[in-house]
Each structure stands twice: as structure tokens, then as C-alpha cells.
A and B are shown apart, each in its own frame.
Chain A
């Protein structure tokens, strides 16, 4: 993935996180060492597009990040948030982020966005993502958001 695409991804994702969730992203150039990564509960969200151009992206949200953006999105207390709302917010985040990205990469609208999917991973270690194609990492107050994707 070239630097221009990484820059567009960062700008697009930041707009989504800041506008909808009041959450700031900071791009990480290098992954933390394997010993620092550990494992835990994550939400995986996937979305693709096809047509004039093709792509597929996977998002891995640490559970606390997913919970925090859902609380901010819905304007509810942390104790009120339900797991299905967190998964739904992760899917909608992928939809907004990649929909926005596609609007920039394919302004003629030749490609169609698929329906996003999200699932809860009870014990996931992000070291499985190290070396994944097009890996982007964004530091947040609630852990690292991992995104792996391809665009052609």
C-alpha cells in the first residue's frame, strides 16, 4: 500500500471517528512488539467493494474501543450499552470509513459497496495481523485500531 493511499485512509477514517464518535486517531508507523500485544476481546468488521475497482478491508477494534465509540455514538451511559450495539457500531464504522474512502478513490461511482459484517472475537491476538497486506494501525485512547485492506 503506497503512502498516498495510507494518507487518504488516515484522513477519511479520522473524519469518521472525530465527527461521529469524538475519538482521535493517531497513525502508528510500527507495530508494537509481539510481547506487548497480548490477546483479548475484539470486534472484527469486514466490508468490500467491487466493480470498476475492487477492495476488501478488515477492521479489528479492541472491545474497549468498540464500547467507547458506541457510547459516544448513541449518547448513552456505559452501563446501558449492549453487545449487539457495539457490533452494529463497528459494522457501521466500517461502512462509513470505506464508503468515504471509496468516494475518494472512485469518484465516478463505478464500484458498489457491499454490506458490512461484524462479529465478536472473544480471544484474539493482533499478532496474527503482523505482515497482513495493507496493514494500517491507529492509536486511540482505548487501544490500537487495526485495519488490513487491499485496493486495486
Chain B
């Protein structure tokens, strides 16, 4: 099974770097989708099947924490694991994110291994969500998450 990944960051170059990092991690990717802030991310989520969200926190219009709050309030969207990739790594911010159900936290600057490790941690949850909602999908050779 290949996973659809939404990369949300207001920096176009950072989105490109994260996509490249994920592609090189060995995670089977179906499609990448991109958003420049939380509002754009919600619009993508409304129309597209997404398995994992990778999001910055510090973004204009709607930041990552508000995006996570909106997702946590939605019965369907809350099943999608969201990982923060952010400079904002204070204990208080991480605690706030944890309470809202964040699936993982990667601090910028990051090593590619950090993103790979956290992605593999959440893929099982993403796989179970996909199978629960789309049981007719072929599991394929990468189904052992």
C-alpha cells in the first residue's frame, strides 16, 4: 500500500526538502499533496484521501496548532496521524500538541533519519485507518505496517 502524504509548511523550499526526505526514506508514497497553511491543509483534507500529515506550526493565516485543533475536533479527520516538523519545540508547545493528539514531533533543523523514524512509527495507525475506511483497497506487498 502506498500512502498519501500532506506536507504543510509556508516555506516552498522546506516543503520540497521534506518531500525529498520522505521519498528517500523508503516509505511507499502514493501522492504528495502540499499546503502553505492550515486553511489550505483543511481544503486538501476535505477533497482528498490523506494518510499522514506533516505540518509546520509557525504559518500565516492558520498555524499548525490551530490546524491540529480543527482536526482533533473532527470525527473523521482525527484518525489521520499528524506529525509536527517545526522549530517550535518548547516543552510547553509539545505538551499542548500532545493534549490535542499529535502523533509525533520533529524539531527543525532535522536529520533525515528523524523523519523516517517517526513516519514508520505512525504508518501502522495510518494503515489501520485506511483499511477501516477503505477495506476494498488492495493491501499490496507493502502492507506489513
Residues of A within 8 A of B (CB): 15-16, 19-20, 70, 73-75, 84-85, 88-89, 91-92, 95-96, 98-100, 102-103, 106-110, 113, 115
Bound together, the chains give a CA A127 to CA B111 distance in angstroms of: 36
Specify which chain A residues have a CB less than 8 angstroms from the CB of B17 in the assembled complex: 20, 73-74
Give the residue of B90, B93, B96, B109 whose beta carbon is less than 8 angstroms from that of A16.
B109
**Cβ of B46 < 8 Å from any Cβ of A?**
no
Which chain A residue has the least Cβ–Cβ distance from B90? A109
Give the residue of A70, A102, A115 whose beta carbon is less than 8 angstroms from that of B13.
A70
Offer 12 A-B interface pairs, CB within 8 angstroms, sorted by A: A15-B109, A16-B109, A19-B110, A70-B13, A73-B13, A73-B17, A88-B11, A88-B12, A109-B90, A109-B93, A113-B58, A115-B60
In the complex, the answer to whether B89 meets A103 with C-beta atoms within 8 Å is: yes
Specify which chain B residues have a CB less than 8 angstroms from the CB of A91 in the assembled complex: 11
Interface of A is mostly: helix
B64-108 at interface with A (beta carbon < 8 Å): 86-93, 96, 107-108
In the complex, the answer to whether A99 meets B59 with C-beta atoms within 8 Å is: no
Give the residue of A19, A92, A108, A110 whose beta carbon is less than 8 angstroms from that of B11.
A92
- Nearest Cβ on chain B to A11's Cβ, whole angstroms: 12
Given contacts A70-B13, A74-B17, A115-B58, contact A96 B91 (CB under 8 A): no
Which chain A residue has the least Cβ–Cβ distance from B24? A75
Which chain B residue has the least Cβ–Cβ distance from A85? B13
Specify which chain A residues have a CB less than 8 angstroms from the CB of B89 in the assembled complex: 99, 103
